[in-house]
Structure 1
Amino acid sequence: MDERILKWLFDVKIAINEIESYFENSEKDFFKYRENLMLKRAVERDLEIIGEAVNRIITKDSNFESKITNAKSIIGLRNQVIHAYDSISDENIWSILINHLPKLKSEIEMLTDQHNKS
């Protein structure tokens, strides 16, 4: 695997771990999330990093588009957070955290583990 791709995969992994750490000492609660501006901005920033890294990965090697579920949607979210920040829905971001981030984490861990075994 290209070393740059591996670096970007680890960037995704780190950003996911950061998001998880924001909820480490408390239950994930949408209403608390919605009221905490600093938490929302931190999560959004990590989602930007994830989207940018995924964009770089699939630009470098399009085969990864089939290895990372919803790669184009991840990139689209990054673009929305950056360029259409005024249309970000707390509900949408929360849904991504609860429903999609765990799968992405699993896929990224599998890809980095494959590299470690080779």
Structure 2
Amino acid sequence: MQRDPRVFLWDAHSAAEAILEFVAGKTVADYRSDRLLRSAVERQFEIIGEALNQLCKIEPAWAERIPDLPQIVAFRNLLIHGYASVNDLTVWNTIESSLPALHETLANLLND
């Protein structure tokens, strides 16, 4: 039995929300110096990427409404498979420049 595609949207939205909560009031210096924070953020990005990858497979029409989805999945792959080359500044810049819009897009899809 195939999972309801809204579950994947919910998982990705929830993970994005968690990242935003984790970094609220933090600076890039805080992020770089806190191993627990980095680990938590990276894990939530992994969940976002995997959930959206699964969404692509079962509901491509919904997945097409998510800007930059291939890059999101590629970022997840980098975090998992290229863990030794993860750049903290890249992760932080992704949080600041891309995550709020993704969070909003996912919320809008869930509300449709």
Compute the TM-score of the two structures, normalised by the length of structure 2: 0.93
1:66-114 Cα offsets, whole Å, 9 max, x none, are 2101100110011110001001000110011000000101100110010
Cα distance in 1 for residues equivalent to 2:92 and 2:23: 12
Question: What letter is aligned with 1:35?
Answer: S
Runs of 4+ aligned residues of structure 1 deviating over 4 Å after TM superposition are: none
1:79-118 matches, within 5 Å, as 79-114=77-112
1:38 maps to 2:32: no
Instruction: Tell me how large the CA RMSD over aligned residues is.
Output: 1.4
1:1-118 matches, within 5 Å, as 4-24=4-24, 27-114=25-112
1:14-72 Cα offsets, whole Å, 9 max, x none, are 11111122134xx2300110110110000000000000000000111222342101100
Structure 1 residue 3: deviation in Å? 5.8
Report the CA distance shift for 1:9/1:65 in structure 2 as closer, same or farther (over 3 A).
closer
The count of aligned residue pairs is 111
Identity %: 30
Structure 2 unaligned residues grouped into runs of 5+: none
Cα distance in 2 for residues equivalent to 1:3 and 1:67: 19
